[in-house]
Amino acid sequence: MNKVFGERRTHGEGGEHWMSVSDLMAGLMMVFLFISVALMRDAMNERDKIKEVAITYEQTQEAIYQALFMEFETDLVKWGAEIDRNTLSLNFTAPEVLFANGKSALTERFTVILEDFFPRYLSVLDQYKDIVQEIKIEGHTSSGWNHDSNDYDAYFNNMLLSQARTRAVLGYVMTLDTIILNYYDWVKANVAAVGYSSSKLIVSQDGIEDEDKSRRVSFRVITNAEEQIRKILVTE
């Protein structure tokens, strides 16, 4: 019973009292209050750290975009290319420049563009190597294949085509002299060739597919912001 109602204590000559249940509860409430305050403080610190990473990520994203735009501003139109500020993708969107219809062999014009573009691209990103987690060379197609194909067959035929095209792009840029001399090991470790088939179509505001713009090759920068946030969550 002493454990429930408190321990009997003696004060002075023959005086005694019992610790009241209310005093015991007040003590427990104080303990819980201190625990809650500590947890809230940790949660706020974690939130502030994640917010700091997010702000730094946005600033870095904008810095990379500006650096790429300044480097390639005068080339984009003649290459049939554009830079997406939000995704840090440099998109080659003129399909007749890239590949023959249904083929994965690079056109002569695209090889000339890549020979000029890719070393300059890596040179721009060199100053951001500490935060660049990966560069993805992404292949995209339109949704069509041929008139006799159903949706399933068209999707997977285009998957094979988009993968073959990005492998051809990566394979070619890795043979460039500048890449071999300065970036070869880094490219092997950090550049991936990915084929998305028709899963990321370009559509108009009316929801109509733009087949030409859907057939594109993108170079997309992936930063390590998510990795930094995971480190914060693990170490807290």
Average model confidence (pLDDT) across the chain: 85
Task: Determine the 3-state secondary structure of 107 from DSSP.
Answer: coil
Residue 23, H or E segment: helix 21-72
Per the structure block, which two tokens stand in for 131? 């935060």
Q: What is the pLDDT of residues 175-223, one digit of tens each?
A: 999 999 999 999 999 999 999 999 999 998 888 999 988 999 999 999 8
Element (H, E) at 83: strand 81-84
Structure tokens at 30: 């104080």
Q: What is the pLDDT of residue 149?
A: 86
pLDDT digits (tens, 9 = 90+) for 23-52: 677 777 777 777 777 777 766 766 666 566
Query: Does the structure show a pLDDT above 50 at 14?
Result: no
Pairing of strands 191-195, 15-18: unpaired
Q: Delimit the domains of the chain by residue range.
A: 60-232
- Domain 60-232, architecture per CATH: 2-Layer Sandwich (3.30)
Full-model pTM:
0.75
- Cβ-contact 217, 187 below 8 angstroms: no
Cα–chain-centroid distance for residue 48? 21
Strands (E), the chain: 8-11, 15-18, 81-84, 89-92, 132-140, 191-195, 216-223
Q: Give the integer Cα–Cα distance in Å for 135 and 89.
A: 10
Highest mean pLDDT among 8-22, 48-62, 195-209 belongs to 195-209
How large a percentage of the chain has pLDDT more than 90? Answer: 61
